[in-house]
Structure 1
Amino acid sequence: MKSLKLAYLFTICLLVCTSCKKFLDVQPESDVTKEQLFTTEEGFKEALNGVYTYCADRDLYGGNLTISNLDIMAQNYTLTDLNLQKIASFKYTDQTLISKYDQIWIAGYKAISNCNAILEVIDQKKAVFQDKNYELIKGEALTLRAYLHFDLLRMYAPSYKNNPTAPAIPYVTVVSIKSTPFSTVSEVLDKAIADLVAAKTLLRNSDPILESGYIIGYPEKVYPEGTPEAKKATETKSGSLFLQNRRHRMNYYTVCGELARVYLYKNDLPNSLQNAKEVIDAKKFPWTENADFNNTNPERRDKIFYPELISAWFVSQGKDQVDHFAALFTKNDAMYVPSITQKDLIYEKGTVGADDWRRAQWFLDIPSSNNTGKALLQKYTTNSTPLKNLHPTVAPALRLSELYYIAAEASFDSDPIHATALVDTVRKHRGIGTPLLKTITKAQFMDKLVGEARKEFYGESQIFFMHKRLNRDVINTNGLIYPASNSIFVSPIPVDEQAYRN
């Protein structure tokens, strides 16, 4: 297990050389050892911040796991680059693709190893923590560990629906150079659930997001005179930086949402529904207002439904990252670009999607004389002056809309009217007033649900995971069908790991 050993060694290097800015959000005055780092509460905070910073890098959620291979494989783009075409056609034997998947695997386990470095000592150091920070830090680290393992499972193993007893991935819970045996698909899900349930208990009594005074909204919004205080965002009002912006971290509602995801993947509909409803019924996350998403001033426009994000990865606001997004989406020679026709088919422009906010604001159409124009994705664009943006640049980790979709799918068999109403609620808040038919069959409902999810998660990679979980064919807008099978749904693990799986 060479790659997992590398991940372990990487963790040791990070913890010993904590002045590495890439790992730690706060620059220490001098290098410290691992033992010294974990002698203070501040050291634990730095280590946890380092995990978030690393996860938001391009190897993981700042790139590969949000706006790269998985979204390409969902057939969302018209591609001219040969290597990207190979990704879209599932050429897993190509060396370029193999290297990319090796990169994601190693990065994922590096992040997990850093979570484990915190978790292996935190109980012994409980006395160094003030207030409820022990519960917060441990709960977040457990959630991160489960979140990362679940995404690695969804990439590198057969789905639960296809083969729950298939060897899947190692579920690593210790910092060790020794190899961790591969768990089955079902075992990985059970271990992730155990971590999330433990995290939920810890965060239930410690997370500020649960307080009535924690109001979600835009950090840079200027509210009209007379706006009630109860509607003004307080996410950055805490005197402690560590307690601000709980949605840029693994918070209590993230745990509920991730449990809803994992239980749904396991086809445990009652538990999935219960956790999805806990988020929905809390009414903590307001729907984005038309005036914000469709603001006539582009500099004050919400491009990502920011108030509805349960959790998101805070992406670097530096020029390199901004230029990276531009190269992928918004430049005339951008790499990830749908045709106008492709985009309009996805968003059903000719029927219910004529007034869809997403189709109108997420894409900039560049027509051409031969009717093959392109649509440039605007979802991740930022202003040249970051503080003018209504919200920071983030990569969505979990959305309120996904919880509505999960609750709808989990409840359709018992209450189809309620299930369709849940989907209609999301549609209404996207400018679609036409409701689903109340006489809809289960098969028709699932077709609609997948279509709605594809619109909502464009540029976020979640729709490919949905196809895999449901074992549905992947079809591009030209009608080319990639039949559902492990040959398209299971990414290759590093060669040096394959012997341990088999």
Structure 2
Amino acid sequence: MNRIKIIFSLLLLLSASSCKEFLDVKPLESISDTETITDQNSALTALRGVYSALASGDYYGTSFQSIGYLTGDNIQWTGSQSQVQEFINKKVNADNSTIASVWIAIYRTINRANNVLAKVPAVTDPTLTTALKNQYLGEAYTIRALAYFDLARTFGGVPIITSPTTKPTDNSGIKRSSQADTYAQALKDLDAAEPLLPTTVDRYRVTQKTVFALKSRYYLYQKDYAKAEDYATRLISDATNYKLLKPYGAFFQSDARGTAESVFEIFYNGTTEVNSHRGQWQPQTNGGTRQWAPNDALVALLNNPAIGGNRSVLVAKDNQNRWYGNLYYRNPASDPSYIFRIAEAYLIRAEARAQQDKLTDALTDLNAVRDRAGLTALTTATAATKDAILLAVENERRVEFALEPHRWFDIVRTGRAPAVFNLTDQNRSVLPIPVQQLLTDKALEQNPGY
């Protein structure tokens, strides 16, 4: 399939389904690209299209997230599609349909953000005040930053496109930037967004707090531990709005959503917006397929009172005595997708502090997460060295985010993939550029080893 034509045809449709909980605006239908953003109402509609792309099934709705946990060591595949088993085996081929759909979905998100960033500044509608205009731009910058960050950690360097696509040939011939430059684009967008956004708390919509969260993650990946600690602290210090809920299941069980645990999550209403995760995890008796299931190793960790604590609620047994994942369970499928929880800020700060030899402070943060899970505190006697604390953080992240898309990226970013995953081919620490893109655009080059 033609990469540019696919992106062009998908990305110019900005009137996506309604998400009134975070963007209260009625969809505008049949808007041509040249007139999509002409006033405050159409600007908000276009921005809602950016969020809809982020929430789509091929991005944070399911497919991109699946890369983060299927390629780790917590999940088994119970179905028959060999392309999914490629992630489990850590031998993903360039013709894998999941990476093809993820690539398109992320660039769709980028293009919609580009459209907002290019057109909103020129709107003269008096109802689109300077404050609103800045907010819309800040939201688009932040989501584009997340998109480039996700591309960088998944594929390495990618083409950096910052202008909207208006015709199929617009993005043809753009060579891949380096991974470092792709990460740098994400930071550039976050820096641009931070002063534009409100300081309020909104768990479904980007604010300045969302930027703090993504910057803390970004700097951890870049091994800038002082800044990772700084931005994580900005969230943790806001204890009025962000806190670790007890017990662990309180942030998702009993149809909970938008709790104090959440910094940024995606809202799905189960009708016009559906989170397809549920169908993959739930067993047949609950209307799912259970094609993704916790493996024996993860089940043992979660059910070990000294390791999983009360996080054992993440798994359950069906009527055939088989374990299944229970983070996504709602019917209709309205489970949130969690992009950033406050638990991540604690564990980012714990890791960053340990890397700076602030071992006592690191243990304090690590133990906050352990305490919420009903575990006893680690001490300098049980975790006496920097390396011991870093390993404890790694292990804690494995169970804390067991069914969220962190494990693969965590182990790769710390250089521990050979030891943990027995990944002897370092070329496999990033995934291949989808073959469809290579066939369409000769300016693209494949990652080494594929």
Q: What TM-score do you get using the length of structure 1 for normalisation?
A: 0.77
Whether 2:450 is the aligned partner of 1:494: answer no
Cα contact 1:346–1:454 (8 A) shared by 2: no
Cα 1:144–1:484 change in 2 (3 A) is farther
> For the residues of structure 1 that align with 2:386 and 2:412, how far apart are their CA atoms?
18
**Contact 1:51/1:114, CA 8 A, preserved across alignment:** yes
Aligned mates of 1:265, 1:408 — CA distance in 2: 14
**What's the CA shift for 1:199?**
0.5
- Residue by residue over 1:359-410, the C-alpha shift from the partner in whole angstroms, topping out at 9 and shown as x without a partner, is 1x22113487xxxx532211111256x9xxxxx6210001111111111111
1:202 aligns with 2:233: no
Residue 359 of structure 2 corresponds to residue 416 of structure 1:
yes
Matching residue of 1:178? 171
Aligned to 2:323: 375
Moved more, 411-420 or 30-39: 30-39
Q: Tell me, yes or no, if the aligned pair for 1:408 and 1:419 is still in contact at 8 Å.
A: yes
The residue aligned with 2:247 is 290
Do structure 1's residue 441 and structure 2's residue 385 form an aligned pair? yes
Distance 1:107 1:29 in 2: 22
- SS of alignment partner, residue 57 of structure 2: coil
In structure 2, the partner of 1:402 is 344
Determine the C-alpha separation between the residues in 2 that align with 1:274 and 1:136. Answer: 24
Question: C-alpha displacement at 1:36, in angstroms?
Answer: 3.0
Change over 3 Å in CA distance of 1:126–1:267 after alignment to 2: farther
Report Cα offsets for 1:151-210 as digits up to 9, x if no partner. 0111101xxxxxxxxxx111211124134332112212222111101111111xx3432x
Task: Pick one of 325, 329, 351 that aligns with 2:278.
Answer: 325
Letter paired with 1:358: R
Tell me how far apart the structure 1 counterparts of residues 224 and 234 of structure 2 sit (CA, whole Å).
16
User: Which residue number in structure 2 is paired with residue 459 of structure 1?
Assistant: 403
Partner of 1:219: none
Q: Is the contact between residue 70 and residue 76 of structure 2 (CA under 8 Å) also seen in structure 1?
A: no
Aligned residue number for residue 362 of structure 1: 314
Question: Structure 1 residues 186 and 323 mapped into 2: Cα distance closer, same or farther (>3 Å)?
Answer: closer
Partner of residue 264, structure 1: 220
In the other structure, the counterpart of 2:304 is: 349
Any idea what the Cα deviations from partners look like across 1:439-482, whole Å, max 9, x if unmatched? 52222222211111111112211111111111212778xxxx43
Match of 1:389 in 2: none
- Equivalence for 2:133: 134
> Within the alignment, does 1:148 sit opposite 2:147 as a pair?
yes
Shift of 1:324: 5.7
What is the CA-CA distance between 1:74 and the residue it aligns to? 0.8
- The answer (yes or no) to whether the contact 1:272–1:406 under 8 Å persists in 2 is yes
Q: Which of these residues, 374, 388, 391, is aligned with residue 431 of structure 1?
A: 374
Q: Shift of the alpha carbon at 1:343?
A: 3.1
CA deviations over 1:330-349 (Å, ceiling 9, x no partner): 3355111125x433433360
Aligned Cα root-mean-square deviation (Å): 3.0
Question: What is the DSSP-based 3-state SS (H/G/I as helix, E as strand, rest coil) of the residue aligned with 1:337?
Answer: strand
- Flag structure 2 segments of 5+ consecutive residues without an equivalent: 446-450
Letter in 2 for 1:396: Y
Other-structure match for 1:11: 11
- CA distance change for structure 1 residues 139 and 61 in 2, over 3 Å: closer, same or farther? same
* Among 461, 482, 494, the residue aligned to 2:422: 482
Q: Matched residues in 2 for 1:436 and 1:500: separation? A: 54
Question: Could you say if the C-alpha distance between residues 305 and 140 of structure 1 is closer, same or farther in structure 2, counting changes exceeding 3 Å?
Answer: closer
8 Å contact from structure 2 (residues 363, 379) kept in 1: yes
Amino acid in structure 2 at the alignment position of 1:343: L
2:182 equivalent to 1:188: yes
Q: Which amino acid aligns with 1:73?
A: T
SS in structure 2 at match of 1:450: helix
Does residue 70 (structure 1) correspond to residue 18 (structure 2)? The answer is: no
Contact in 1 for aligned 2:94/2:433 (Cα 8 Å): no
Does the CA-based 8 Å contact 1:71-1:463 persist in structure 2?
yes
> Identity over the aligned pairs, expressed in percent?
22
- Change in Cα spacing, 1:443 to 1:4, as seen in structure 2 (3 Å) is farther
Are 2:335 and 1:393 equivalent residues in the alignment?
yes
Q: Is the Cα–Cα contact under 8 Å of residues 156 and 169 in structure 1 kept in the other structure? A: yes
Instruction: Find out whether 1:337 has 2:293 as its counterpart.
Output: yes
Distance 1:291 1:400 in 2: 12
SS of the aligned residue for 1:500 comes to coil
Distance 1:344 1:305 in 2: 27
1:117 corresponds to which residue?
A: 115
Q: Deviations over 1:232-259 (max 9, x none)?
A: xxxxxxxxxxxxxx21122211101111
Q: 1:469 aligns with which of 396, 413, 426?
A: 413
Shift of 1:489: 2.0
What's the offset of the Cα at 1:264?
A: 1.6
Give the number of aligned pairs. 425
Q: Unaligned regions of 5+ residues in structure 1, if any?
A: 158-167, 210-245, 387-391
Cα separation, 2, equivalents of 1:484 and 1:274: 35
- Shift in CA distance, 342/365, structure 1 to aligned 2, threshold 3 Å: farther
